Amino acid sequence: MRRTPGTVKNITVILILAAVLIAAVILSFFIGRYPIAPAELLGIVFSKITPIQKFWTDNMETVLFNVRLPRILLASFVGCCLSSAGAAYQGIFRNPMAAPDILGATSGAAFGAALAILCDAPRSIVTASAFGFSLLTVALVIFVSERAKGAKIMSLVLSGIMFSSLFTAGTSYIKLVADPTDQLPAITYWLIGSLNGIKIEEVAFASVFMAVGLIPLLLLRWRINVLTFGDDEARTMGVNAGRVRLIVIACSTLITATCVSVSGMIGWVGLVIPHLTRRLVGNNYRYLMPASMLTGAVFLLAVDNLARNLLTVEIPIGILTAFVGAPFFIYLITRESGLE
């Protein structure tokens, strides 16, 4: 099949983004308050493959495998998932303002996490509670919207707004009755999002669900293209719009719930990154979806590097994404072409 200049350009952009991500991951291992030189990094890595005379300290090895590796992986995974979920929602809802929290997944997760913290549950239970309530919220949204009268998409969005408001109110009440000495700070810190203290076991748990959600989104990206033209056009092309939309919502919800359960609420990535990526590769989801995944991973990894190194005290990553994302979004909507 002959490739057009636009196709070659988009593939080139995706390859460049992949190279940038690889470079950002490697560079992130060297960035931190505890310095690790390139030679020491290579020595530690290769020592797991072949016997090497040790010329690094035990602290360096601990920092590399127990602190930086899980955090770098999770930042990349979360950025990839949130941006791909945002791109998918914007396509199936044909709404440039759609984001991963449009159906209330993040509000449900926040309530679940706050409830677990209020009960003095360990971190693993907090993660599981956030994950479960996130999925439950979207299930309730779909249940109500299926029984609502009128346009299905509008009913889905309005149900999402309603349940999001309901669970946000529940979270506010939990904060009101929480112990202000330890429970309230823990809830507040979780709500603003952070990758601090993440363990490799949590990354392994999250990566399974992320893969289950991301792979179908990649495989269905041409059908998302069709849905952007409307349900009637989709039917004429032999695409079951309702079924595809449900699968995309389920996959996007799964990866959003997974992200929020392990990292807290990190905003703006799923809203801003897809629009930025459209400037690079256009609106064709064949290229937009993989490019959004790569761009989101690079963006959140870069922001996390800033969060843990900019000041002597770590800045929660959710605060930095808002500081970076909001001005950039204003720039996008005030440009002549606006949101595409």
SS3 per-residue string spanning 35-61? CCCHHHHHHHHHHCCCCCCCCCCHHHH
Distances (CA, A) of 174 to 161, 200, 244, 260, 311: 20, 30, 37, 18, 31
pLDDT the model gives residue 35: 81
In the chain, the N- to C-terminal Cα span, in Å, equals: 29
Phi, psi of 53 (to 5 degrees): -60, 125
Extract the tokens encoding 221: 């990206």
Tell me the per-residue pLDDT of 158-206, one tens digit each, with 9 for 90 and over.
999 999 999 999 999 999 999 999 999 999 989 988 898 889 988 998 9
- Lowest mean pLDDT segment, chosen from 84-93, 281-290, 318-327: 318-327
Q: How far apart are CA 101 and CA 202, in angstroms?
A: 22
Amino acid of residue 61: E
| Cβ-Cβ contacts under 8 Å for 239 (sequence gap 6 or more) | 223, 226, 227
Return mean pLDDT, the chain: 89
**Is residue 128 within 8 Å of residue 136, measured between CB atoms?**
no
Structural domain span for residue 310: 5-334
pLDDT the model gives residue 284: 92
Q: Report if pTM > 0.75.
A: yes
- Lowest mean pLDDT segment, chosen from 61-70, 129-138, 246-255: 61-70
Q: Flag whether 270 is in a domain.
A: yes
Mean pLDDT, residues 226-243:
82
* Higher pLDDT pick, 110 / 61: 110
Number of domains in the chain: 1
pLDDT band at 330 (very low <50, low <70, confident <90, very high): confident
Among 330, 300, 240, 319, smallest CA distance to 86 is for: 300
* Higher pLDDT pick, 271 / 2: 271
pLDDT the model gives residue 39: 87
32: left (phi over 0), alpha (psi -120 to 50) or beta: left
* Higher pLDDT pick, 340 / 197: 197
pLDDT the model gives residue 3: 57
pLDDT the model gives residue 1: 45
* Higher pLDDT pick, 95 / 10: 10
CATH number of the domain at 184, please: 1.10.3470.10
Q: Flag whether 330 is in a domain.
A: yes
Q: Flag whether 30 is in a domain.
A: yes
